[in-house]
Amino acid sequence: MNWLLAALQTALFVALAPLLAGWIKWCKCRLQNRKAPSLFQPYRDLLKLTRKQPVVSHQASWIFTTSPYIIFSAMVLAASIVPLIAVDLPTSANADVIVLIGFFSFARFFLALAGLDIGTAFGGMGSSREMTISSLAEPAMLMSVFALTMSASTTNLSFAIGHVLHEGLVLRPSFIFALFSLMLVAIAETGRIPVDNPATHLELTMIHEAMILEYSGRHLALIEWASQLKLLLYGVLIANIFFPWGIAETLAFESLSYGLLAVIGKLALLALLLALSETLFAKMRLFRVQEFLSFAYLLGLLGMLSHIILEGAR
């Protein structure tokens, strides 16, 4: 039963991901005084892509054609260990937050290889930039995760969320620093403005899009879906770790549906915030990103130090 619930939660994760992307697009359009596409447009795009015939270069090796499946399953695995509407599901014991970061780097490894596979300049450029940014983002993310896991004294996400729930509403300086740090990392890792622009195909600015330029059909659908899933994963991490209230602690139907409503509400707010920041800020130069990310690292470090200095030993 619990395993079934865990599988259902993962499926819900996968199903909700395009909706979040649609909602962000909707908010951005309204904020920029444009007419918005339907909330369900990402689903239609994905469906359209799966029906198309994929065209693959003669140069492509098996790395290129299997990477979409690998990337997508890595993201689904990541989704299976992040509590969305309920904590204490059995899958959360399979992996902790460090393994979660491992899943992300697994997906990125193959995405970058796929970018290099065809042998065009675009792919290599995208791969090189993606690996650069991620290698700066990873320590920053780990720093903010450390600040959290040290106060919860566990790296298991489910237990950490449970710990925050039981502590109640305590104002912890380390959490606030970690929250901001994680938000900055999330922006960089999911390729949003000001680090990358998901809506552009201009070679000077793009990172993620450059790597997947050669993809089409179902391969493109899987990669797009995986990146939407990654966005949702970061959103849920921020929403459920720092504001876990509402998440189901028992597996009764009411608390689960309450948990679902709560997480949708939290995500809608977070997405609105993201859309607002994307409207207000412009994309920055590539070699400014390191400053952005070292700021995130600094925030994480401050969070950890304030945990050590202010919040004392266990």
Partner 1 sequence: MILVLAYGSILFSFASCLPALAMHQHRHIPSLSRRLGFDGSEDARFPVLMRQAVFGLMGLSGLFAILAGLSVLAGGEVLTGRIGLGLPWLPWHVRFDNLSGFFFLIIGIAVGAVSLYGPGYVSAYEEDRHPFAVLSLFSGLFIAGMLLVLLADDAFFFMIAWELMSVASYFLVAFQHDNPANRRAAFLYLLMAEIGALAIILAFGVLASFADGFTFDALREARLSTGWASVAFVLALLGFGMKAGLVPVHVWLPEAHPVAPSHISALMSGVMLKVALYGLIRFCFDLIGEVHWQWGLALMMLGTLSALGGILYAMMQTNLKRLLAYSSVENIGIIFMVLGLSMIFMAQNQSQLAALGFLAALFHAFNHALFKNLLFLGAGIIHHQTHELNIDLMGGLIKRMPKTGMLFLIGCMSISSLPLFNGFVSEWLAFQTALQVDVIGNGVLRSLIPVAAASLALTAALAAACFVNVFGIMFLGLPRSRHSDKAQEIADRGMLAGPALLAGLCFLFGIVPGPMIGLINGVAGQVLGASLPDGARLSWLHLAPVSTGQASYSAPMVLAGALIAAGICFRYLRRSPATVMRRADTWDCGFGGLTPRMQYSAIAFTMPFRRIFAKAWIIDEQVRKDSQGAMGQDVAAIHYSLQIQDHSWPRLYQPIERAVNKAARLAGRIQTGNIRTYLGYSFVTLIIMLWIIS
251 makes contact with partner 1 (CB under 8 A): no
CB 226 within 8 A of CB 107: yes
Degrees (nearest 5) of the Cα angle 200, 203, 208? 60
CB 35 within 8 A of CB 29: yes
Measured between alpha carbons, how far is 185 from 281 in angstroms, rounded to an integer?
16
CB 99 within 8 A of CB 12: no
Site for partner 1, residues 53 to 92, rule: CB under 8 A: 53-59, 61-63, 65, 69-70, 72-74, 76-77, 80, 91
Give one word for 312, left, alpha or beta, with left for phi > 0 and alpha for psi -120 to 50.
Answer: left
Site for partner 1, residues 38 to 57, rule: CB under 8 A: 50-57
Q: How far is the CB of 304 from partner 1 (least distance, A)?
A: 5
Residue with smaller CB distance to partner 1, 109 or 258: 109
106 makes contact with partner 1 (CB under 8 A): yes
Closest residue by Cα to residue 132 from 282, 283, 285, 289: 289
189 makes contact with partner 1 (CB under 8 A): no
Number of residues that bind partner 1 (CB under 8 A): 87
CB 46 within 8 A of CB 221: yes
Fill in the per-residue mask, 282 to 301: x = in contact with partner 1 (CB under 8 A), - = not in contact.
Answer: ----xx--x------x--xx
Site for partner 1, residues 144 to 183, rule: CB under 8 A: 146, 149-150, 153-156, 159
Residue with smaller CB distance to partner 1, 38 or 290: 290
136 makes contact with partner 1 (CB under 8 A): yes
201 makes contact with partner 1 (CB under 8 A): no
Measured between alpha carbons, how far is 140 from 294 in angstroms, rounded to an integer?
7
5 makes contact with partner 1 (CB under 8 A): no
Residue with smaller CB distance to partner 1, 79 or 263: 79
Helix (H, G, I), strand (E, B) or coil at 131: helix
113 makes contact with partner 1 (CB under 8 A): yes
